[in-house]
Chain A
Amino acid sequence: MSALLDQLTRRQLLWHGDSQQLAYQAVASGYPELDQQLAGGLPATGLIDIQTDAGIGELRLLLPYLQQQQHHSQRLLVFIAPPAELSADMLAGAGLDLSQLLIITPTQQPATAPKNNQKQNNQQQKALWAAEQCLQSGCCATVLIWPAAMSLAQARRLQLAAEQGAASMVLFRRPCQSLSLPVNLSFSLQPDQQGLQLTVLKRKGSWPAAPFLVDMQRRWPALCLTDPTGEPMRRAG
């Protein structure tokens, strides 16, 4: 390499197309193929955007990661506005410390009852406010939130708060065609018979890879279709 190129590289004016430096610190996700594809695992801080349907295994994918995050720093896990009642059995079974766990369900105060639309907006606002406070505080490891919608500015603000408090935040969203948010990692999930089909949409500091399969047969044998020719049982309610 010529002296000029060498000098330019050293001054960070020139870089190689094939060198991929992760913009974040990675934490092993507990699934070897995921770790391999994402060069180490899921980000320890910052936003993780997951576009998924409910109930296909999105939380199961994260459970080892959440356990590590919580255990490593002895900090809180916060669930904000989960779509239904969380079950303690599953979370405790995955090794999470239930005493270091908070559930925040913003509700409308009965004193003021505005219109339905405004009410939802208000709840959404409160949820985001709570998320920002948790991220900033520095005593939460990971915040999980199920937002109805999120704007670019809100995501940017939460990303900053997460960096400030060295926390990570997981957004569970419905698959949508909106603009990509300023997040560390964004992927979408599709159900698969052996686990989940994962498509990386965006990864900070690297190129997106081809869709790949996360195999859940070892961790969750009961929640995989071992026999693809299983007979569906039709029932009406």
Chain B
Amino acid sequence: MALFLYLHFPALQLDHLQQSAENSQHLAIALVDQQHQLLQLNNAALTAGLKLQMGLASAAALCPELQLLPYQPEQQAKVLKSVAQQLYQLSGDIALDLPSGLILRLDGMLRLYDGLQSYWQMLSKQLNALTYRYQFSCGATPYAAKCLAYQQANLITADNASLLAALHASPLEATELTEPLQQQMARLGIHTLGQLLALPPSELARRFDSQLLSYLGRLRGDYYHPLEYLQPEPGFSRYLELLYDISDSTVLTKPLAKLLQQLEQQLSRANCQCFQLLLTLFFRDNPQLQLSIGSAQGEYKAAAWLQLCQLQLQNLPLPEPVYGLQLDVNHFAGQQRPTEALFEQQHARMSALQLLSLLQARLGRSAVSGLTLQNQHLPEQATQRSLPLTKDYVEKGQAGPPALALRPAFLLPQPQPLTEPVTINQGPERLCPDSWQLNGQRDYYIGRNQQGQWLWLFRNARQQWFVHGWFS
């Protein structure tokens, strides 16, 4: 026999909003729909005596300082999806039931977890960690489980008889039947599901439309109920709407830390790390701003990523307050630990690549570079700034070009005219630019000026003297 578990989250969007702002617990907050009915309430609002489906006027009369937020189904769908993603590690078959439910198929899982109790223990631990309010129930079919979960039956059992008894005692309000249909039933004296199920289907088919029959058929398990089970998505994408606009980029790290924490959970479960984050900041008037934060070594720890993000945010002037954050990771890679010497006395706090990403995050990518020696005879071409920590020649298994030792340590970007008396110590060494153009030739000398500084000089074809660098 198939067994299903239904999880119903009565206030998913509101709980998600509250999670991002801890200090709003004492505020009464409610979500309202287009018809100005209260749809979701937080605990403070519930203690103030507010009820669901209440109108705005009575709600305001009961609780004058009530904060209202619009209900956004697409936001809630995103949150529901992320919940499903996080439960996916524990349970294989999860189907979304929009707007606020998850259907979990259990029969496969029970063999893995060796019984319902141990399975529920694992699952409830994960659910409690999510801090969203939830109601749950088992059932023989998805609709049966859903109906019981709506009544907060909270049944965790595989016992068919007790599930059936609970189902038969269910009021019709907990079912999927439409409002007019429920009224019609009430007028007929049918108040519980048990009464409805006792009627022969052929009689029902004569009086009511096919919708009711198909619902009852699926509820009993007579009809096939197709479910679209969740497939895990590669990558990570979360959006966080802030409860209030943030104009200071340092305050932004607080909500960002929460997103990074979620990322760390997902990465560590998959035993992965990532090399790049895309952080999108949403503004009300300005176009959104996308930051790419990279780590050369790859990280999964939230603390390490937060440090890199902080460094990048420090330099960032915000054009106006931010109302939302989105964090995307497109590519996960397997975790690799660098090998370290066993008997090393001092333990390096971070690797060279980690240091590099730290420096690049604060100073910008162009501020950190390496140095390579090119096989060129002109001094300004022999030295090239390169990407840091790259091994050009070692990896290709060749020796680099031979170095000319008698070259100055520092080269001036532009040769400067010589303005002081010098003592020529060595030279000339004639260097010509490409194709041996004779008018571009330079005769290089090593000279020492009165202060004892060793200069690298040249004389061009027009007998003008320049300083090109100094031997340090």
A positions within 8 Å CB-CB of B: 53-60, 75-76, 82-94, 98-107, 109, 111-112, 126, 129-130, 133-134, 136-140, 164-166, 190-192, 222-223, 225, 230-237
User: Would you call B409 and A87 a contact (CB within 8 A)?
Assistant: yes
Assess whether A84 is in contact with B350, with CB atoms less than 8 Å apart.
no
Residue contact B373 to A89, C-beta cutoff 8 Å:
yes
Closest to B471 in A: A223
Q: A90-B407, A138-B348, A237-B417 are in contact. Are A103 and B317 (CB under 8 A)?
A: no
Q: Is the CB of A230 within 8 A of B423?
A: yes
- Report the bound CA distance from A230 to B427 in whole Å: 14
Write the nearest CB–CB distance from A131 to chain B, whole angstroms: 10
User: Interface digits, B415-430 against A, CB 8 Å rule (1 contact, 0 not)?
Assistant: 0011101111110000
By Cβ-Cβ distance, the 5 closest A-B pairs, closest first, are: A191-B452, A237-B417, A93-B405, A138-B348, A55-B453
Once bound together, how far apart are the Cα atoms of A231 and B404, in whole Å?
Answer: 27
State whether B354 touches A222 (Cβ < 8 A). no
Whether A106 pairs with B363 at a CB distance below 8 angstroms is yes
Name B's interface SS: mixed
Contact present for B451 and A53 (CB under 8 Å): yes
B74 CB, min distance to chain A CBs, angstroms: 34
Residues A89 and B407 in contact in the complex (CB < 8 Å), given A55-B455, A105-B367, A190-B452: yes
Q: Could you say which residues of chain B place their CB within 8 Å of the CB of A232?
A: 421-423
Chain A CB within 8 A of B198 CB:
no
B388 nearest CB neighbor, chain A only:
A102
Q: Is the CB of A237 within 8 A of B418?
A: yes
The answer to whether B363 and A138 touch across the interface, beta carbons within 8 angstroms, is no
Q: Does A88 lie within 8 Å of B412, measured CB to CB? A: no
CB closest residue in chain A, given B368: A104
Closest Cβ of chain B: how far from A218's Cβ, in Å? 14
Interface string of B164-199 (1 = CB under 8 A from A): 000000000000000000000000000000000000
Find chain A residues with CB under 8 A from B205 CB.
Answer: none
B425→A230 contact, CB < 8 A: yes
**Chain A residues whose CB sits within 8 angstroms of the CB of B407 once the complex forms:** 87, 89-90, 93
Query: Which of B354, B455, B464 is the one whose CB lies under 8 Å from A137?
Result: B354
Q: Are the C-beta atoms of A130 and B359 separated by less than 8 Å?
A: yes
Residues on B with beta carbons closer than 8 Å to the beta carbon of A230: 423-425
Q: Which of A89, A164, A230, A235 has the most CB of B within 10 A?
A: A89
B228 interfacial contact with A, CB 8 Å: no
Task: Name the CB-closest residue of B to A219.
Answer: B405
Alpha-carbon gap, A56 to B422, bound state (A): 14
A107–B388 Cα distance when bound, in Å, is 17
* Chain B positions within 8 Å of A190 at CB level: 452
Residues of B within 8 A of A111 (CB): 317
Interface residues, chain B, with chain A CB atoms under 8 Å away: 315, 317, 346-352, 354-356, 358-359, 362-364, 366-374, 379, 382-385, 388-392, 394, 400, 403-413, 417-419, 421-426, 446-448, 451-455, 464-466, 469-472
Once the chains bind, are B409 and A137 in contact (CB under 8 Å)? no
Contact B409–A99 (Cβ < 8 Å): no
A94 to B407, CA, bound (A): 11
Q: Are A76 and B422 in contact (CB under 8 A)?
A: no
B388 contacts across to A, CB distance below 8 A: 102
Which of A58, A100, A225 is close to B472, meaning CB atoms less than 8 Å apart?
A: A58
What distance in Å separates the Cβ of B466 from its nearest Cβ neighbour in chain A? 8
Say yes or no: A86 contacts B371, CB within 8 Å: yes
A residues within 8 A CB of B417?
A: 237
Q: Is B410 in contact with A82, judged by CB distance below 8 angstroms? A: yes
Q: Is A136 within 8 A of B349, CB to CB?
A: yes
Partner of B379, one of A84, A87, A140: A87
A175 to B366, CA, bound (A): 32
Cβ-neighbour of B346 out of A138, A223, A225 (below 8 A): A138
Chain A: minimal CB distance from B129 (Å): 34
Residues of B within 8 A of A91 (CB): 371, 409
Who on chain A is nearest to B407 by CB?
A: A89
Given A88-B403, A133-B359: A60 in contact with B409 (beta carbons within 8 A): yes
Q: Which residues of B contact A54 (CB under 8 A)?
A: 410, 453, 470, 472
Compute how far the CA of A82 lies from the CA of B411 in the bound complex, rounded to whole angstroms. 11
Whether B403 and A235, one on each chain, are in contact in the complex, defined by CB atoms closer than 8 angstroms, is: no
CA distance A102 to B455 in the complex (A): 25
Q: Is the Cβ of B352 less than 8 Å from the Cβ of A76?
A: yes
Distance in Å: Cβ of A95 to nearest Cβ of chain B:
9
Q: Is B421 touching A235 in the complex (CB atoms < 8 A)?
A: yes
Given the interface pairs A85-B410, A102-B368, A133-B358, the reply to whether A92 lies near B373 with Cβ below 8 Å is yes
Q: Smallest distance from the beta carbon of A234 to chain B beta carbons, Å? A: 5
10 inter-chain pairs at a CB distance below 8 angstroms, sorted by A residue, are A55-B410, A59-B409, A87-B410, A89-B383, A102-B370, A107-B364, A109-B364, A130-B359, A190-B452, A231-B423
A222 vs B400: C-alpha distance when bound (angstroms): 25
* Nearest B residue to A104, CB-CB: B368
A92 cross-chain contacts in B, Cβ below 8 A: 373, 400, 403
In the bound complex, residues from chain A placing their C-beta under 8 Å from that of B348 are 137-139, 165
Partner of B454, one of A82, A85, A223: A223
Please, which residue of chain A has its CB at the minimum distance from the CB of B452? A191
Contact residues in B for A107 (Cβ distance below 8 Å): 363-364, 366-367
How far is A55 from B466 in the complex, measured between Cα atoms in Å?
Answer: 16
